[in-house]
Amino acid sequence: MLRRFSNWFELGVSMAVVVFVGMLFLNSPTAPAAAPAEVVAAAGGIDGGEIFGARCAGCHGGDGSGGIGPRLAGKVVARFPDPAAQIAVVSEGRRSMPSFAAKLSADEIAAVVEYTRTVLGG
């Protein structure tokens, strides 16, 4: 009797572990593409891709295809012809988009914005 319970219990635990690990993988955003050296150099040595992965990918997807936040890839250059307007959204935030003015320097914000416009295919 006890043995039977423990088998069911073990089966239940194993299934819970499988589901949990599966969810971890489903939830993790695709890793962002690395910023090419010339993009990093143009941003004064700041790696916008690294910032994107750490600060933005969780909401906008590792490839910028969207998630909690809207799609950025293939869209931002048309939407923000002037990069300054895009920088303003990232610095100041907008509705559920957090403000990054206190978390990133102006140069870091410019670098991550440039990354979304070039590497993610503005």
CB of 70 to ligand HEC, least distance (A): 5
CB of 34 to ligand HEC, least distance (A): 16
- Written as one letter, the residue type at 31 is A
Between residue 49 and residue 88, which ones bind ligand HEC under the rule CB under 6 A? 55-56, 58-60, 68-70, 72, 76, 79, 86
Output the CA–CA distances (angstroms, integers) from residue 107 to 7, 8, 97, in the order listed.
Answer: 58, 57, 19
The nearer residue to ligand HEC, 12 or 36, going by C-beta atoms, is: 36
**74: region left, alpha or beta (phi > 0 left; psi from -120 to 50 alpha):** left
Question: Tokens standing for 93?
Answer: 């935030």
The nearer residue to ligand HEC, 9 or 79, going by C-beta atoms, is: 79
Between residue 11 and residue 40, which ones bind ligand HEC under the rule CB under 6 A? none
Question: Tokens standing for 107?
Answer: 């140069």
The dihedral built from the CA positions of residue 84, 87, 91 and 93, taken in this order, carries a sign that is positive
For ligand HEC, the binding residues (CB under 6 A) are: 55-56, 58-60, 68-70, 72, 76, 79, 86, 89-90, 94-98, 100, 112, 116
